[in-house]
Chain A
Amino acid sequence: MFAVETEALGRIYKVKKTRKEAAHTLVALDNVNLSVNQGELFGLLGPNGAGKTTLIKVLTTLLAPSSGFAHVNGLDVARQPEEIRRQINMVSGGETSGYGLLTVRENLWMFTQFYGIPSRQANARIMELLKIVGLEDRANTKSSNLSTGLRQKMNIVRGFMTDPTVLFLDEPTLGLDVGAARDVRRFVRQWVDDDPTRTLLLTTHYMVEAEEMCDRVAIINQGKILACDTPQNLKQSLRSEGVYSLQVSALDEKDFEELKGIAGFRQGTLRQVESGAELELVLSDDSVLAGLLGFLTAKGSRITTLHKREASLEDVFISLVGKSMKDVENGAAD
């Protein structure tokens, strides 16, 4: 049995007519097929608006699927939401939820009671976890007096303190400083490693997070799963090809579109910078470079730096989507 399994899962939002736009539908999830093994730390990597949060909402029973099936620990999210809720928890990043008038300890204690954890055990667990996230000295501070980052830590404790068998983390490090985010990543990884019955599904749009932490990663865009494998295998898929970073004196969008016609060009992105333009290119092999150099020379562009490097998950995303995640985010509303 998989900890999480979806089969042809779809979710469509009906957007009502407004003064500015006509009524229409928005496909948030499109035929999603996923299987997450028990004991796995599974990552959903994609830009804002890709459908990551929608998938988490469906799996945590907050949102009904429009089509297909989703199971958590073998239980159907549409038909057995109450049974699922006993076994899961969720943390959403970048938000300031919580009862501001309660202290950190009171906020957390209250939620342990909703999970039926005896008070004594709950209090011990709360202090233990607060210590781990470095919040023990704020236990008696009203949560309204915490910064966004500290509130986020409190919410992370809320997710872990019920010790669910399946935990969903939606952008858990959003809003955290670099050090705190690193600590959270380390803790999350350790939590899964400590007990093989624990499963964790996290969404992120940080490549490094997916690459560092996850056993397997699914790349999602526009509601579709484009690839799913270990970070290593995903990167290996580009091994036969070459990944190059170039800085050139000048190159505009029109010329870049023309560059895409060079034989052996696979995918690439162009970014204008102060000193000229930066290119991230996936080419079929090194021999394509000759043609590329000729093209740039003909366009009067001079190469400042040329660097062949190991493929990253960003390159995998570019090879699948044809755009960088940043470009997709800039052009897509969440």
Chain B
Amino acid sequence: MSSAETTPNSEAKPGKLLTFRTSAWLGWMIESNWTDPFIFAIYSIIRPISTAAILIVMYLVIRGGDFGSADFVNLYIGNAFFILVGAAIQGVSFGILDDREHYRTLKYIYIAPVRVPVYLFGRSVASILVACFSVLITLGFGIIFLKMPIALAEVKWGLFAAAFVLGMAVMICLGLMLGSWTLIIKNNAWSLGESLGAGLLIFSGAVFPLSVLPVPLQWVGSALPISYWLTLIRRALVPGIGRAYPMYTNLSDQQLILILLGFTLVYAALAALIYKRFDFIARERGNIDMVSNY
């Protein structure tokens, strides 16, 4: 054995884009590599349809059908887009757990000259893309088989794009907050994302309007950007039906966008602060390369 002649690399520093691209590639490899591409494609189609089917059966039992009603359309769209909430939040935060506990690589990522939040964001892209595909499949199933009144010509595309981008940004920030917390906890870290997802489902107006909740819980819902995001998505996709949904009826689309923008900025600042603080605590406690075996 002899030493390799290598170019000294004493001031290595990748750009954020390279970090993002590489971690997105890693995320995709992890997301898709558990099976062969054919089975992965089938799974990606069957999973959202199965979720939609559960909703349909529940609605059928409770309301006796009528899939063209405004209530069901709003419920269906809220439920379809809620897939993205879990994917974005868990996608970002799960990278910490997966690398630390499963692959045991977090310490090596950590000592590399990368911005860990950028790495985590890149790592989540694959799960977000797969979730986007699930949303499309769910909506397509609704349009074709349930005759849902979503007409592409009537969709407010500008509003949809703005709401979608802001919503994804705010959820990624939430994911970073959750990931930061994950950095310092040993027990039950695996269930954090699921617990948060379940909480958000209740308080975000995804399956029922906030007005059915007791007033203090309505305040909780109004403090969550996802409530505004889902309202905007409904109003953009099915303008007439979405406007009739009993949430924030006194607010215009523009006002809702501004509120969502405000939330995004606040959550981004909070996520940066929380990451910095928890990163400090993790280094103080020696949590970065901890293996909890939970």
Question: Which A residues fall within an 8 A CB radius of B?
Answer: 13-14, 57, 60-64, 82, 85-90, 92, 95-102, 106, 110-111, 113-117, 121, 125, 128-129, 132-133, 158, 160-165, 183-184, 186-187, 190-191, 193-195, 197
Contacts and interface: CB of A to CB of B under 8 A. Distances in A.
Contacts of A111: 108, 112
A85 to B, nearest CB: 5
B12 A162 contact: yes
A115 B283 contact: no
A114 B109 contact: yes
B8 A101 contact: no
A218 B19 CA distance: 37
Contacts of A160: 4, 6
A99 B12 CA distance: 23
Given A113-B22, A193-B3, A101 B13 contact: no
Interface string B21-37: 11001100110011000
A92 to B, nearest CB: 8
Interface stretch (B59-67, B99-107, B151-159): B99-107
B4 A85 contact: no
B14 A116 contact: yes
B56 interface: no
A90 B1 contact: no
B126 to A, nearest CB: 13
Nearest to B11: A86
Interface of B: 1-15, 18-19, 21-22, 25-26, 29-30, 33-34, 103-105, 107-114, 119, 280, 283-286, 288-289
A242 B285 CA distance: 45
Contacts of A99: 26, 29-30, 103, 105
A61 B109 CA distance: 12
Q: Looking at B9, B112, B113, which has the most chain A CB atoms within 10 Å of its CB?
A: B9
Contact of B104 (A96, A113, A164): A96
Given A99-B26, A163-B9, 13 more contacts: A60-B107, A62-B288, A64-B280, A82-B113, A85-B112, A99-B103, A102-B26, A115-B13, A115-B14, A115-B112, A116-B113, A125-B4, A183-B1
Contacts of B5: 128, 194
Contacts of A121: 7
A57 B104 CA distance: 15
16 contacts: A60-B107, A61-B111, A85-B111, A85-B113, A86-B113, A87-B11, A88-B111, A97-B108, A98-B103, A101-B34, A111-B112, A117-B9, A158-B108, A194-B5, A197-B8, A197-B10
A124 B290 CA distance: 34
Contacts of B289: 57, 62
Given A114-B19, A125-B6, A63 B283 contact: yes
